[in-house]
Amino acid sequence: MMVARIVALAPLCLLVGCFGSDKIVPVSGRVTLDGEPLSGAVVGYEPIAQEGDLEAGYGSYARTDDDGRYTLRSLNNEDGALVGQHRVSVSTVVGKEGPNGEILGLTKERVPSRYNNDTQLVIEVPEGGTDEANLELESRR
């Protein structure tokens, strides 16, 4: 029954738009933890659905360099992120993939869970993009 509803709504979605903004704009910034650059961290932006949207759209991600700087790339392989509000997560957990696809040897998370699994970080990506999406994280509150 649910599949039938989704199939029935699909053409309407194409006409009026079911998702939030589909405009991708450049987004970059710097991540620090306790004032120090956070290198090798994965930064994820997950769009937040707005009222009236069936879905929020696809997210974006980046890995920070040695100076903590990052430039987002969307999951559909475009540079940047969708315009609008995003829930942002930061993680330093890295694992190696084993011969059967299993994850081996995860590193210890250096970032508190309030910035990754339990993140409450929200950033508004403006229409013109930004190069100042800086994340100043603290290990203690």
**pLDDT at residue 67, as a whole number:** 98
Q: Which H or E run contains 61?
A: strand 60-63
Most distant CA pair in the chain, distance: 53
Q: What is the pTM of this model?
A: 0.77
**pLDDT at residue 22, as a whole number:** 80
Domain ranges of the chain: 2-137
The correct answer on CATH 2.60.40 for the domain covering 2-137 is: yes
Residue 73 DSSP label: E
- Count of CB atoms within 10 A of residue 99's CB? 6
User: pLDDT digit of tens for each residue in the chain (141 aa)?
Assistant: 433 333 333 433 333 334 445 899 999 999 999 999 999 999 999 999 877 666 778 999 999 999 999 999 999 899 999 999 999 999 998 776 778 877 776 778 999 999 998 999 999 999 999 999 999 999 986
**pLDDT at residue 12, as a whole number:** 35
**pLDDT at residue 94, as a whole number:** 77
**pLDDT at residue 108, as a whole number:** 84
